[in-house]
Structure 1
């Protein structure tokens, strides 16, 4: 199947919220940050995957709302992450954080350049998504800093 990767636009807000809601993933305040979401659409213009970045302060951002259809494979995830790097550059985000909760995810994320982060920057606590994510059992913070 053919997939198209693109940055979400304002007109995608409702479809993106629905996609995230169906996956039981945080979708609050999507309307305020829709332009910081990467979407992968199938040939019928249905969302098959998405990944967002919440801009915090001081050149920091928090990855959020990674949702993948079961039709996709690991190479699609890699494509999303690589595209997110470009989007982060555009929004002047140098330090990208994420909250993971599975060791198997951490291994993949290490390959993508993320490292376990010992100290949690105070700026991240301003994010409701961050605070909610930390409540998940076994959660830990990872960071990737661009050169």
Structure 2
């Protein structure tokens, strides 16, 4: 199947929020972050994956990764490469993420993310509600990749 990547625009807002909410992921704050999201669409313009970055000065928090079960690991890799390119374009030098899945840690390590201690998170990022909630998850692991 053919998939296409694009940076989200205001006209994608409803499709994007519907997609992530159907997966049980919060869409809080999407209004102000819409152009910080990468969407993967099917040939029929159906959203099949997305990831966003919440900026805070030179830092960014990856958030709202939602992937359809139709996709392969190579598609997810492409999605991550695209969000990293977008973040760099917008002046973000350090990308942070939180995961509670060991399999994700291995995959992300291969992509250049390093696991860090919670005490190493910049204070600017600690003001982001999404990060605070993610850190409360059992087995939460913080990872960072710097450009």
Question: TM class by shorter-chain length?
Answer: over 0.9
Other-structure match for 2:59: 60
Query: 2: CA distance between counterparts of 1:37 and 1:20?
Result: 12
Please state how far the C-alpha of 1:104 moved relative to its aligned partner: 1.1
Other-structure match for 2:81: 82
Other-structure match for 2:11: 11
List per-residue Cα deviations over 1:6-61 (Å, max 9, x = no partner): 0000010111000010000121010110000000000111100001000012x000
Other-structure match for 1:139: 140
List per-residue Cα deviations over 1:39-95 (Å, max 9, x = no partner): 0000111100001000012x0000000000000010001001111121011110000
Runs of 4+ with deviation above 4 angstroms: none
> Normalising by structure 2, what TM-score?
0.96
Q: How many residues are paired up?
A: 145
Question: 3-state SS of the aligned residue for 2:27?
Answer: coil
Please state how far the C-alpha of 1:123 moved relative to its aligned partner: 1.1
Query: Gaps spanning 5+ residues in structure 1: where?
Result: none
Listed as ranges, the matches of 1:1-147 within 5 Å are 1-57=1-57, 59-118=58-117, 119-146=120-147
> Normalising by structure 1, what TM-score?
0.96
List per-residue Cα deviations over 1:98-139 (Å, max 9, x = no partner): 001011110000001000112121111111110111111110
Question: 3-state SS of the aligned residue for 1:6?
Answer: strand
Query: 1: CA distance between counterparts of 2:3 and 2:92?
Result: 27
Query: 2: CA distance between counterparts of 1:128 and 1:11?
Result: 25
